[in-house]
Structure 1
Amino acid sequence: MKNPTIPVIPRKFLMSFILVTSLFSLWGFANDVTNPLVAVFKDVFVITNAQSTWVQMAFYGGYATMALPAAIFIRRYSYKAGIVVGLSLYALGALLSIPAAAGANFNLFIIALYVLTFGLAFLETTANPYILSMGPAETATRRLNLAQAFNPLGSLTGMFIAGTVILSAIQVEDFKNDVNGYASDLAPTEVVQQQHNIPSFLQSKPRERVYDANVEAYVATVGVNAPMTALQDFKDGKITSFQGMTHRELQQNDLKLVAMPYTAIGCVVLLVLGVFLVSKLPHTSPPDASHDVHFGRTIKRLLTNPNYVGGVIAQTFYVGAQIMTWTFIIQYAENELGIDKATAQNFNIMAMVIFLCSRFICTFFLKYISPSKLLLILSAGAIACTLGAIYIQSIAGLYSLVLVSACMSLMFPTIYGLALDGVGEDAKLGSAGLIFAIVGGVFMTRFQGQVLDLDGFMGTTATRGSFFLVVLCFIIIAIYGFTSSRFVKKATPTA
């Protein structure tokens, strides 16, 4: 049993812990305010699905590009220096959205996201091991889990801002709704919702029609009911205007909405940067720790540490499971239950709320349960919930998929803490591998998307069957939870 008398956060580190923990919400906001841009840019710029995925490629590519340089930087200098550089790049990337929106420049938006995630890579590579070092090694994982518990607060804020500032206000959706309204008599959304007994607080109000004579004349003449075709014709000038705006004007209007939250968060990040510049943060490295990188020797030690290598592998599959679950919950609701996208997104928000609450609950349990055992228990729960989503045919299957988030809540920081247990100063470079593992999720998400395009998979529908990939990820995480407790903790290496 864990010793509850050992302090999680020693008093001398309390203020520094609070300050560094604020960074976890900042990168949570960036992650979840960016996700809807894949769909938004597809319509606003009238591009293909493949082209719109550059948003995610740039976002996660930034982590891949900068994780290792960030680790080398903080090893050579300090945690504070890494935070300052990270916040500076974050603010720069966020504020680049202003000229990108003004010029309606898709490529500049992609560059802005790429630079922004340079900053996030610096912050995550720095903040995670810094939090681990702020106190006794016995409570390091609990300390990181507590700090990570504030990450979903930023994520929820990002989801809310994306929904209210961007998705509910962009006029390209009014245009598409108008085209659909003229082209066909669509079934009311509420009928589908009532059929599945969805609680009223999760139901979304259908977007109202915006009547426009130019669109009506276009549909009457062309007879098209594909909004993307109509958007392309609007861009090409075959529809002269919508609500008095040309396509260029509508595009600039919507991109200004996209830029608003990035401008706001850029200003907030600059304020946080100012606080860190004037704050005195503790040096937590051992007195005899060297700031020389010794890259080759450090990498060799890490790669011969089975606990660390296993942690990187487990983290790769965890990120894959998380992104697949949260990305395709909408497709699950739509394809399997006929629920509209807006209502399906509310299930995603509910999943994030559960994720947040579960983090605080599981952090409490870590006071009495070892991290490796808790990881094994959570993995088993996640496997059961995912199998429920695959095999339960009713709305209960969707609720089962939502409950996976409760089991995922503490996996990332727990794997992180276990993998870096006992590596000493190598944690600064070792953290880069765990942040780089974020990239793995992108490839697995693409694989799941390919499965979704099939007629069926593993004896069930393609949508349900695609979640067997998520089950596989949790099995690998469970194996790491089982084996990590059996690895012999090595003495802290010297650099």
Structure 2
Amino acid sequence: MFIKNNTVQLADGYLNKTPLFQFLLLSCVFALWSAAAALNDVLITQFRSIFDLSHFASALVQSAFYGAYFLVAIPAAVVVKKTTYKFAILLGLALYILGCLMFFPASVAGTYTMFLAAIFCIAIGLSFLETSCNTYSAMIGAPNHATLRLNVSHTINAMGYIVGLLLGKYLIFQEGVNVEQMMASLQGAELEAFKMQMLQQTLAPYKWLVGVIATVAILIAVTEYPRCKAVRGEQQTAPSFGETLSYLIGNRRFLKGVVTQFAYVGMQVAVWSFTIRLALELAPGMNERDAANYLLYAFIMYFLGKLVANYLFTKTSQENVLQLYSTLGFISLVYVALVPDFSAVWVAVMTSAFFAPCWATIFASTLQAVDTRYTETAGGFVVMAIIGGAIVPVIQGAVADAVNMQLSFIVSACCFAIVFSYFMAEKKHKQSAEFLALQPE
């Protein structure tokens, strides 16, 4: 190994301090999977026009993407448990590269199904990355800074959304071209040639991603990483999967965290999936590249929201911060759903700031409700909750088809209400625990 680890691991798996280079390199992986997620939002708009899809059918891009998380998260957690976090990360990066390469035959075949298969393969790799990296970021240092570390990693994750959207905007969308209008004006051989040209453009960002992913994988491979797993005594054996499952099912705080993560991810994916479409519907004549600017602004707000949240975490409890963010987010999404003018797009953009601390804080808070013997598998179950990103957008898409695009955002508003109720319950739990701790024995 070229870069050594000089930390001391504690019995519970945490470290005496955070190894800075290892942590920053690990955090770079967070940006890689958010870049792929941002490209999905561009692909939904592109595929809907090229393949003449309904809002419901175009949302299947997210179903393929996040459905893979649901199927692979527990196998990924088993890999982490049997091997190391580092091995699982390298395996995830290799599968990510394979999925990117599958875009090349998909663009030649020119079928929606082939593209969904490539996206599914990418998501399998990302499931390994999220299952390992989220838990690892929380563990790679002192336990009292676990939530802060995870939020710092997710601040870098926010930058990946911006980069992914820029790649999609400039390499997939053509300047001054409205794909839907162009296709309506063409027919026969000209129409088929235009479709193939548009599909070929989807390859460009994935060529760049392959190079970046390979570079990060090489750096991780030559860097020594700590194990960050709880040390067991001579008489203590690792819990079986059945024992772990029984424990987690009986842990109500853990289950509430999983449900909340499901609702949050579904809401975030749904809002971002339909932001471009909302702008196009409220401003007829706008082209896809110009409409993508609003999603870019949303990702910038997401990044800024993380910076503000990280500061607020130093001033008050994470429960207070998340209750504030979820209240403002709920109000914003109700506005998007009910106010019938273009200001709704700007409010949808602003809502992304209130998404910012949700995933990392829900993840860390849920793991804190679990005994460290079950951490690896528990992390896998929390990542499985990403299936919300496969289900909620489809529900919102169905509402958009049945009623209208704007009113469909009420689905996401309901999800923000679930986030609020979770952190209200967490605050009450911690206050009760503090009260009991102060009572004389």
TM range (shorter): 0.7 to 0.9
8 Å contact kept, 1:16–1:282: no
Gaps of 5+ in 1: 1-7, 180-225, 235-239, 456-461, 491-495
* Alpha-carbon displacement from aligned partner over 1:165-224 (angstroms, at most 9, x marks no partner): 111179xx5776456xxxxxxxxxxxxxxxxxxxxxxxxxxxxxxxxxxxxxxxxxxxxx
Name the structure 1 match of 2:214: 270
Residue in structure 1 matching 2:90, options 81, 84, 87: 84
Residue in structure 1 matching 2:350, options 383, 388, 403: 403
Name the structure 2 match of 1:468: 410
Gaps of 5+ in 2: 1-13, 435-441
Name the structure 1 match of 2:8: none
What one-letter code is carried by the residue in structure 2 that aligns with 1:360?
L
What one-letter code is carried by the residue in structure 1 that aligns with 2:419?
I
Name the structure 2 match of 1:93: 99
Name the structure 2 match of 1:482: 424
Counterpart mapping for 1:5-44 below 5 A: 11-44=17-50
- The alpha-carbon distance between structure 1 residues 17 and 380, as it changes in their structure 2 partners (threshold 3 A), is same
Name the structure 1 match of 2:62: 56
User: What is the Cα deviation at residue 132 of structure 1?
Assistant: 0.6
SS at match of 1:487: helix
**Further displaced range: 442-451 or 76-85:** 442-451
Q: In the aligned structure 2, how far is the partner of 1:256 from the partner of 1:414?
A: 39
Name the structure 1 match of 2:394: 446
Name the structure 1 match of 2:6: none
* Alpha-carbon displacement from aligned partner over 1:378-434 (angstroms, at most 9, x marks no partner): 111112222333444544443322221111111111111111114213221111222
SS at match of 2:414: helix
8 Å contact kept, 1:13–1:282: no
Say if 2:301 is the partner of 1:301.
no
In percent, how many aligned pairs have the same letter? 25
SS at match of 1:467: helix
What one-letter code is carried by the residue in structure 2 that aligns with 1:303?
I
What one-letter code is carried by the residue in structure 2 that aligns with 1:302?
L
- The alpha-carbon distance between structure 1 residues 112 and 386, as it changes in their structure 2 partners (threshold 3 A), is closer
Say if 2:302 is the partner of 1:360.
no
Name the structure 2 match of 1:116: 122
Residues matched between the structures, number: 415
Q: In the aligned structure 2, how far is the partner of 1:291 from the partner of 1:48?
A: 52
Counterpart mapping for 1:233-244 below 5 A: 233-234=187-188, 240-241=189-190
Q: In the aligned structure 2, how far is the partner of 1:466 from the partner of 1:178?
A: 27
Q: In the aligned structure 2, how far is the partner of 1:9 from the partner of 1:339?
A: 56
Q: In the aligned structure 1, how far is the partner of 2:369 from the partner of 2:60?
A: 38
Counterpart mapping for 1:242-257 below 5 A: 247=192, 250-257=194-201
Residue in structure 1 matching 2:161, options 138, 155, 164: 155
Name the structure 2 match of 1:209: none
8 Å contact kept, 1:75–1:291: no
8 Å contact kept, 1:372–1:418: no
- The alpha-carbon distance between structure 1 residues 47 and 453, as it changes in their structure 2 partners (threshold 3 A), is closer
Higher relative contact order (CA 8 A, sep 6+): 2
- Cα RMSD of the aligned pairs, angstroms, is 2.8
- The alpha-carbon distance between structure 1 residues 109 and 396, as it changes in their structure 2 partners (threshold 3 A), is closer
User: What is the Cα deviation at residue 88 of structure 1?
Assistant: 0.9
User: What is the Cα deviation at residue 43 of structure 1?
Assistant: 4.5
Counterpart mapping for 1:222-233 below 5 A: 226-227=184-185, 230=186, 233=187
8 Å contact kept, 1:70–1:125: yes
Say if 2:378 is the partner of 1:372.
no
8 Å contact kept, 2:238–2:373: no
What one-letter code is carried by the residue in structure 2 that aligns with 1:445?
P
Q: What TM-score do you get using the length of structure 1 for normalisation? A: 0.77
Say if 2:385 is the partner of 1:437.
yes
Name the structure 1 match of 2:7: none
- The alpha-carbon distance between structure 1 residues 384 and 484, as it changes in their structure 2 partners (threshold 3 A), is same
- The alpha-carbon distance between structure 1 residues 94 and 122, as it changes in their structure 2 partners (threshold 3 A), is same
Q: In the aligned structure 1, how far is the partner of 2:50 from the partner of 2:209?
A: 22
What one-letter code is carried by the residue in structure 2 that aligns with 1:428?
E
Residue in structure 1 matching 2:268, options 312, 322, 326: 322
The higher radius of gyration belongs to 1
What one-letter code is carried by the residue in structure 2 that aligns with 1:33?
L
The structure that is helix-richer by fraction is: 2
